[in-house]
Structure 1
């Protein structure tokens, strides 16, 4: 690799406080927790490599004990830094820390209206906490957006209506962006994920949503998948060229959607 990719998703920790139905980690810890020295060394190497943007994820990144010093380190190097969280920390202290750290954007996971989101997240009250977190961020002046993972439960057949509900929630909450991602099938429960045919039928509904909500963006993987099922030519996957994922233990792989053994 002669040039390090511009965009990095860094999984700070494998720890998580949820066990979402579609997650291949399912809330467990599969990678040993890295040391503070390792994490800070990774931050320094990313800065030295001239990375332009880092998205901090997990697991659940708010469980990382040195999250804020890492944000400070990256921001001090002039890197655009975003945080991808499940939104369970609905404290005003969290919103204040986001503001003080200079985070450029906080992404909150939102997979449907209340009943759907709580079922996917396997936690009653998860939806309410995400909206409280969004409200706290808005009150603190922190830019935030929502990320929605497209699954059979929120986007297949009659469930497409859930996306209209989410669009209204996104607008009412005052989010700056709404990104749709493709739930990548894993070996565990393929029935949870969209089939090729179901994905193809989403092309028109998603175009309609985009026309009515200028916050909507398609994640790279979803855009490529829609083009593939629609028979459109592909420019090539950016994994490993424009983007790269850093695992908690520092290993690199082309994309966070790839299995852990693909490093």
Structure 2
């Protein structure tokens, strides 16, 4: 086997799917910006709010499951994704993975979420007492598209998958998918976002992270042999497997 054939490669599917998802995200952003008061998804968004959205005072928004998703997109979730996970990756000597994860978190939060939110500035659901519809049940900032919580869920879904070996990744797709679906449910349950804002927010966060996964792929593959849950120690020189690049010219 030649050195070129054994070198890590970037899977093209990550780039193709990521760019396709970003195209959907950007197209929807332009469609909403063209008519922020009533974009083309508004009839379905209204119907979904009438079906799922809670009224104030029911207490249905404060039990354990919706609060899990609420906190996941706030300070506790930020501590987990911006501090604890990257720090642990550095501890187990997967510093390339830590840099990827930080790039995904900061890039997705700043560009996909906050920049687009300020450019589009779609109004959030508002009280319509006559129709028995209500606005956000928690304090929120301006701009409904995209849902920042949903963008974070999309980043987490793909970001963690990129860190895992293939066998464990299959299980994470299921768990992470449930987290993404749960985040869409919770953001609309509390009337913080329109349904389309939450769904497309997940698409935007996940797609941007897929593109970053493609960009970091060759670096991440160097970390895959290192355990995620214990610190690695260098093997003795005579016990190390021969490198596929030994003897190859650079």
TM bucket (normalised to shorter chain) is under 0.3
TM-score computed with the length of structure 1 as normaliser: 0.25
Higher helix fraction: Structure 1 or Structure 2?
2
Is the radius of gyration larger for structure 1 or structure 2?
A: 2
Higher strand fraction: Structure 1 or Structure 2?
1
TM-score computed with the length of structure 2 as normaliser: 0.26
